[in-house]
Chain A
Amino acid sequence: MKSGVSNITSQSEAFEKWMVENPVKPPCTSACPVNADIQSFVSLVAQGRFRESLDAVRERCTLPGSLGRICHHPCEGECRRNDVEGAVNIRAIKRFAADICTDEPHYTPVPKTQGKRVAIVGGGPAGLTAAYDLAEDGFDVTIFEKNDACGGAIYVGVPKYRLPKNIVAWDVAAIASLGVDIKTNTTIGKDIQFDDIAKDYDAVLVAIGLSVSRNIPIPGHDAEGVLLALPFLKEANFNDNATVGKRVVVIGGGNVAFDVARSARRLGAEEVNLCCLECESEIPAFSWELEEAAEEGIKINPSWGPKEIKVKDDKVTGIVFKRCTRVFDENRMFNPAYDECELLEIDADNVIMAIGQGADMTGFTGTSLEVDGRGRITWDPATLKTNLPNVFACGEVVTGPGSAVAAVRNAHHAATAIERFLTTGKAEAVVMPEPIPIGKLPDFTIEAITRKEKNLVPMVEPAERVKSFAEVEAGFDIQTAIYEAQRCMNCSRGADIIPEKCAACLTCVRVCPFGAPYIAEARVANFSWESCQACGICAAECPGNAIQVAFNDDTKINEAIDAGTSGITVFGCQYAVPTVKNPASKATPAPPGVNMVRLMCTSRLDIQHLLRAIENGVDGVAVLACPDDKCRYRKDINWAEVRTERARRIIEAAGIGADRITFMGSPGSPEAFDEMMGEFKAKLNELGANPLSKVLVK
């Protein structure tokens, strides 16, 4: 793993450990196809630790720049802030973490300690993800990519206005930097033979995706002017001189159809009709695609099936549709029915078929890889193995069409299977741990949560959008990203009881602003994780030391405190000092001589923490207040201030001087923080050195 050293040897092991340690995960992580540790990377952005956030994103979401733009973000749909005032804009935060770091260096190559070679056929999202995981695990990975660059569908197919190509290249470069050998312009069966690869490499992963667009065998389907989606999109992406007729009809209702229609608009089509079998509510494309397409003047015609293409002089002049009365039958099988009496004719210069893709298996015919009668690879979804002992497959080529992030998930699965196969010699079923989503927020907790309005991602105006292939969505600026990230409630990272220490005293029940603790039947306190906001007030007040806060336990806090043995130790909530001076820096640069101890919330601050810092010999301890308008927690009592006061009384009694511990306002900016530290230092200079200073000990 890039960040942090541990004795965990593989990516999959790290993921599994994280999942097993506490299978209850926030709903965003549970909904995320790759189960990304969303609150970690969101929290790091909230703290201004952007580079660390990016690294955290990449652990599971291997293409942060690209997925930060095109992921369909099911995480946001499940975000518990939906019940408060609106989901955290997770995708935009992810995109921000990538964008802010684009000028940062990538990684240094991971030593190839495993001594095993893996070939990956296909450099799309699936292949790249598997390469990432396996390279991180120390395998020697080579990607064979038929195009001139990696990215697969998101490189060739996804239009530039949604995903600029330099972003894809940046994502690919990050993976390459781990030491992955990428061989582009290399077509299987032509430039290199599959059977040779299967023989030369310890393991092979086939992740070639679905790269061939299908046509519909209706009259006129081969006329001039009938185009297929992927070639059209490729043209639009890479040929600056590409054009299209004034009147375009797109057939299909998936996301690709919308990409085609919107690209056609940008290429100059004035009248774009999109016709699909599905009725309006069944259109498979994402709702925002429909909205944005409509904004761009594209007419969406649901419930129409193509009947015949009108041709004159071998050229398309229009298309006739028949009313589609049903797409799926009672068994939910694709089985459309039509009413031939109701017809629709649209004049068109181009008809573009965007009805789905198939795999390009040409390079595999006649090889030892088993392919069934319908052209599909023989594949076991549990082991991810093909018929060959060392050949695995993943992604759309075996799972069928899906989202990019779903392919990424399947690739993690495949990488795990390959890693186990290569380390144990056995290819066994790999079970990906499934998180248990934490439940909904109870009403009384919703009431208690401080409202923070959601930020929408800025979009270019529709009239402006259709003029070019410039990116339609702008990213967050630093302040907005930090604000938005601070809206995250850190669901499920809350308090837990040590039953044998609990005196059932009700202190936690009384101090919790969110109604999370309750006295369970066994007469010990327990916590509703649904309600817990992980602020830590209870842990710092529990008279029996019977509460642990998973995200903010004493061991970690004490480690951070012990990092300071002179100068000033500062306690603040994780958001107390925004670090925007050096956006991509790995850690918050505190002023010299200042040791920052970040708590989830200063309500977690324990008097012991303050005294520990003093005992370590620091000259001063400052506690930063949270600005109320930014605080996620409702605080009727300023706990940090109350506890600071008691610590002050104790060190005064000890003759150390109360003023060595101080409760400060919120700095608001790093500059203000520097200034506050300067003033505090001056005050501490007047007091002289801490009598417990280790420097003074003879």
Chain B
Amino acid sequence: MGFKEDIQSGKFVVTAEVGPPKGTDITRMIHHIKALKGKVAALNVTDNQSAVMRVCTLAIAKVLMDLDVEPIYQMTCRDRNRLGLQSDLLGAAVLGIKNVLALTGDHTTLGDHKDAKPVFDIESVQLLQVINGLNEGRDMAGLELQGKTDFFAGAIVTPEANPLEPQFAKFEKKVEAGAKFFQTQAVYDMKKFHNFMERASKYNVPILAGVLLLKSAGMAKFLNKFVAGISVPDELIQELANAEKPLQKGIEIAGRQIAELKDVCAGVHVMAIGAEDKVPDILAAAGL
């Protein structure tokens, strides 16, 4: 059983993610991967996350597979044009990667190479269409492939986006373009997420709610201020502020959220950002 099968079977699925390091030393990352192995259905491998240059996704996805962990290959449109994207996808297929998460990608000016030329030759919706095309045996130019791919393509959505309507319309486009599952930006406001799910569920695409580990009240405030589509409610910030051990409290909160989400959506995507080894604790706290 793999990620695709789990999700299609209706099982409550848990995914987490690892960030490739900046540099060739991957020991810490391997430590994280090992901590998560067996606890999650699959691990996302981010793609120059936050527009910060790191080890390429493809290589790390291969490392995961070598460790017998199923990767979800994140692919952004920022750094490669349509030739680069397609050839990497073919490469991924050759390596045996099954899951692809199509993203547009953060803008270069947010990252560590602000003077880079951003590519954005195509974007997430179009990338989903491209993946479908490759699955059907043809590239963007309409040329036939020698051997087609069989990707399980997913996309992301931000349920707490403000305003939500244009975001939701894009979600619909992604479904239409062939997204088979969604992972979401971190959700904290359960009421909003319920509303979102009410509307989204009619599209019959599994949605894994994003759960972001809050390590302190300061971090929560930072997220509110600087990260689009995340709004940590004041009560949670207060709870963290009052806690003696904020990280422990964060783990408890994340666990609580996952427990709540169990009956709402198809699974959760846990983002621990550098504290991936705490993910098992979170899952334990959630009773999983």
Do A and B interact directly, with beta carbons closer than 8 Å? Answer: no
